[in-house]
Amino acid sequence: MLATDDGARQAVREVFRKAAFDIIAVLANEYWCKMAEALIESTLQSVLDFFNTKIWPEVEAPLKALEEAIPEPLKNAGLKIVPLANTIVNILITKAVKAGMTKLFIKLEVALWQ
């Protein structure tokens, strides 16, 4: 009877251990994803802030000069080079940061869980 009790205890322990590890794995995966998303967004905001406060003012002056040189019909049509260029660059920065950080987190995830 003692062998049966020990076997039952061992089986129950194994079930609880497996359940606990499964729960920990699910939580780790869920919070890893949330952490990665938050860090990607934080990095994106930092890069955009740096670009818009440090780099963009240097680029904006020549673009304004170029905007002054465009023909009058295009000016009358509402062509604004400075906001258009800023929007395009912000979109490109956003795509590049998200892609780069996603690749980084995928490599980290592979390194951590394999």
Rg of the chain's alpha carbons, rounded to an integer? Answer: 28
Domain ranges in the chain? Answer: 2-113
pTM value? 0.70
Q: In this predicted model, what pLDDT tens digit does every residue of 50-93 receive, in sequence order?
A: 999 999 999 999 999 988 888 888 888 888 889 999 999 999 99
Q: In this predicted model, what pLDDT tens digit does every residue of 5-64 receive, in sequence order?
A: 777 778 778 887 887 778 877 877 788 888 889 999 999 999 999 999 999 999 999 999
**What does each C-alpha distance from 105 to 44, 53, 109 come to in angstroms?**
14, 27, 6
